[in-house]
Structure 1
Amino acid sequence: MGKHVIVGAGQVGSHLVERLTGMGHDVTVVTRSGSGPEGVERVAADVADRARLAAVAKGADTIYNCVNPRYHRWARDWPPMAASFLGAAEDTGAALVTLGCLYGYGPVDGPMTEDLPLAATGTKGRVRAAMWHDMLAAHRAGRVRTTELRGSDYYGPGSTDQAYVGETRFVKPLLAGRRVLYFSDPSIPHAWTYLPDVAEALAIAGTDERAYGRAWHIPTGPAVSTREVAERLCRIAGAPAPRIQEVPRPVFTALGLANPMLKELRETRYQFDRPYVLDSSAFQSVFGMAPTPMDDALRTIVAASRASASRAA
């Protein structure tokens, strides 16, 4: 089987390791500290060091960019890392599969499709748009084979505290009957992308030549409001009815004065102030992959949360 290099061992990278090793591939995980899941080769490297990354990826079939700089450092950290990924792919001949996001589109009326212009005016959206333009130009010039997969906000087992409906600030409090604070209107429909589906789509893209030369949307189910996600979660778990409290916008703005993460969220607040709908039909049609039904995903999340609580007891 093939050799695959995953850069980043966070909420997506760990799921991707499991998926690729389950397919029989040799997997190397690269992080700054050399940490990562057990059972695979783990390497410490500065992702912005092109020569070091190329040395690690020598002989690899595919490099996966699953890193995520700190939110308030995107404009500073992403350009040298993105250039390093492209350079390492060119130096080694490995394909480059980048985990992207939807920020590059900016505010959109209606479902988002891959043919929309990357018209974002915010800093983070412009950074991501520039990354994709550089990747696509390198692909068209014959220097690399590359693709970018874009999903909406993540949910699922192993989700971090940055996820709006993640384990720490959403699932665990709701299952315990506690109130959840939410930084927008929880009744507005929003697309949620399931973490195991992210890993599955990345694994497909990294092993199928049809993926290269364009961007794709990761299979994602119909948009569902945060309130409905909470109600379905609690119903499946047999937990008390959810209590979600919207944080008023002036309070949200004031909190951002002291918290860099919350300050950066102002730029993408539009995603939660009106319906945010993702069309992933292209990937689903070409590669035959459907998104995991939300209730099935929530059952897995409940089981994982309870198993984690049992281990901690």
Structure 2
Amino acid sequence: MKHEAFPTAAANGRTALVLGATGGIGGEVARQLRTQGWAVRALCRNLPAANQDGITWMRGDALHRADVLAAARGCSVIVHAVNPPGYRRWSELVLPMVDNTIAAAQAEDATIVLPGTVYNYGPDAFEALHEDAPQRPLTRKGAIRVELERRLQQATETHPLQRSCRVIIVRAGDFFGPQAGNSWFAQGLVKPEQPVTAVLNPAAPGVGHQWAYLPDVARTMVQLLDRRTTLPAFARFHMAGHWDADGTQMAAAIQRVTRGATGTSPAVRAFPWWLTTLAAPFVPTLRELREMRYLWQQPVRMQGVRLRAVLGEEPHTPLDEAVRATLRGLGCLPGEPVSIKSGTDRGGDFFASTSHQ
């Protein structure tokens, strides 16, 4: 196994396994860990044609425990950034995958890092959402995520016949970024690899919405990992990210950036929710999407107070700079686009990454 840039990383206990590294958040965390001197392994079913970003790619499936155990051998961190694509088969796949991650983390005395979601919470926890709010979701996917976190918390508890592990959960708004190809931003607001002629806004008029720039989220996770031994065994954090107070600011930022790059300003139109209603009986992903529409119909805001208390300040890229990098990465602006990694896993995206790439 080669780790050319940082040959002593593994020896220093800085080896991480990333599950979901071909997705948006998993890939970004993997790259930033590598930049910070970690030896990074990535488990996937189809190995890339060539080495990418100094990461060691290992063939395997997150649904196969033996594969996860083998890939995690000697790792001090496991990034669990996997979910079934398009909301499909959550009830069958989500919990078995996290059980495999837990087994590997307990075997290696490792820390699990999870990109959390807001699905866990119901309306009784909104508008201002804090980490310890009661988790009483109204959706099926929310109930699954509650059980997932329950299993993670249980895994951190000490039992006579069971080894424990540590867990860090980071919740953030809807992802956007150069590598977040499958996201609300990339699949809803604009069209990848096409000039921005219109912005489709899913938000209800006047309703705030929370966004998170993917590199900021990954940087937050890496910084928390550097402090993992000082954190509680089961630690949960919320990111403030970019708060769009009235549901229009993200669309306005896209207009500003596009106008600055091309001289023309795209129109802003309402997202055609009616179309998802018509197509839902025939398209499973759209049917599941309809269930999560409530996240666009009422404000759900995370403050990030606990995170700032630990880190001092939250990693935060200015909105227009982040939007410019995102549009360029998606091939929507003139210039060399960044290679798009498909798939994300976050607190509100309906285009989730494949669970066992």
In the TM superposition, what is the alpha-carbon distance from 1:176 to its structure 2 partner?
Answer: 2.5
For residues 293 and 223 of structure 2, the distance between their equivalents in structure 1, rounded to whole angstroms, comes to 31
Kept in 2, the 8 Å contact 1:34–1:45? The answer is: no
Q: Quick one: which of 17, 30, 41 aligns to 1:5?
A: 17
In the TM superposition, what is the alpha-carbon distance from 1:299 to its structure 2 partner?
Answer: 3.2
Q: Quick one: which of 176, 185, 193 aligns to 2:195?
A: 176
Match of 1:220 in 2: 241
Q: 1:288 to 1:171 in 2, by over 3 A?
A: farther
After superposition, the CA RMSD in angstroms is: 2.5
Q: Quick one: which of 164, 184, 192 aligns to 2:184?
A: 164
- The one-letter amino acid paired with 2:169 is E
- The one-letter amino acid paired with 1:252 is T
Match of 2:318 in 1: 293
For residues 293 and 310 of structure 1, the distance between their equivalents in structure 2, rounded to whole angstroms, comes to 21
Q: 1:261 to 1:86 in 2, by over 3 A?
A: same
Q: 1:249 to 1:298 in 2, by over 3 A?
A: closer
Q: Quick one: which of 55, 58, 66 aligns to 1:43?
A: 58
- Residues matched between the structures, number: 310
More helix by share: 1
For residues 308 and 38 of structure 1, the distance between their equivalents in structure 2, rounded to whole angstroms, comes to 25
* More moved, 189-198 vs 217-226: 217-226
Match of 2:282 in 1: 258
Q: Quick one: which of 68, 88, 110 aligns to 1:53?
A: 68
For residues 40 and 332 of structure 2, the distance between their equivalents in structure 1, rounded to whole angstroms, comes to 27
Q: 1:176 to 1:187 in 2, by over 3 A?
A: farther
Q: 1:21 to 1:43 in 2, by over 3 A?
A: same
Match of 1:202 in 2: 221
In the TM superposition, what is the alpha-carbon distance from 1:289 to its structure 2 partner?
Answer: 3.4
SS in structure 2 opposite 1:158? coil
**TM-score, normalised to structure 2's length?**
0.79
Q: Are 1:269 and 2:290 an aligned pair?
A: no
In the TM superposition, what is the alpha-carbon distance from 1:89 to its structure 2 partner?
Answer: 0.6
SS in structure 2 opposite 1:103? coil
For residues 308 and 21 of structure 1, the distance between their equivalents in structure 2, rounded to whole angstroms, comes to 29
Q: 1:49 to 1:12 in 2, by over 3 A?
A: same
In the TM superposition, what is the alpha-carbon distance from 1:45 to its structure 2 partner?
Answer: 1.1
In the TM superposition, what is the alpha-carbon distance from 1:181 to its structure 2 partner?
Answer: 3.8
Kept in 1, the 8 Å contact 2:115–2:169? The answer is: yes
Kept in 1, the 8 Å contact 2:328–2:336? The answer is: no
Give structure 2 stretches of 5+ with no counterpart. Answer: 1-8, 338-357
* More moved, 239-248 vs 90-99: 239-248
For residues 136 and 126 of structure 1, the distance between their equivalents in structure 2, rounded to whole angstroms, comes to 15
For residues 317 and 336 of structure 2, the distance between their equivalents in structure 1, rounded to whole angstroms, comes to 27
Kept in 2, the 8 Å contact 1:191–1:277? The answer is: yes
For residues 272 and 24 of structure 2, the distance between their equivalents in structure 1, rounded to whole angstroms, comes to 29
- The one-letter amino acid paired with 1:112 is L
Match of 2:341 in 1: none
Identity of aligned residues (%): 26
Kept in 2, the 8 Å contact 1:153–1:191? The answer is: yes
State the Cα deviation string for residues 248-298 of structure 1 (Å, max 9, x = none).
554331121122111101221111011221211211221123232322312
State the Cα deviation string for residues 181-233 of structure 1 (Å, max 9, x = none).
44452642100011001111221233322344121113423234443212122
Kept in 2, the 8 Å contact 1:186–1:246? The answer is: no
SS in structure 2 opposite 1:192? strand
Give structure 1 stretches of 5+ with no counterpart. Answer: none
Query: Which protein, 1 or 2, shows the higher relative CO under an 8 Å CA cutoff with sep ≥ 6?
Result: 2
Kept in 2, the 8 Å contact 1:233–1:298? The answer is: yes
SS in structure 2 opposite 1:104? coil
Q: Quick one: which of 16, 30, 33 aligns to 1:20?
A: 33
State the Cα deviation string for residues 126-157 of structure 1 (Å, max 9, x = none).
11111111111121226111121111210111
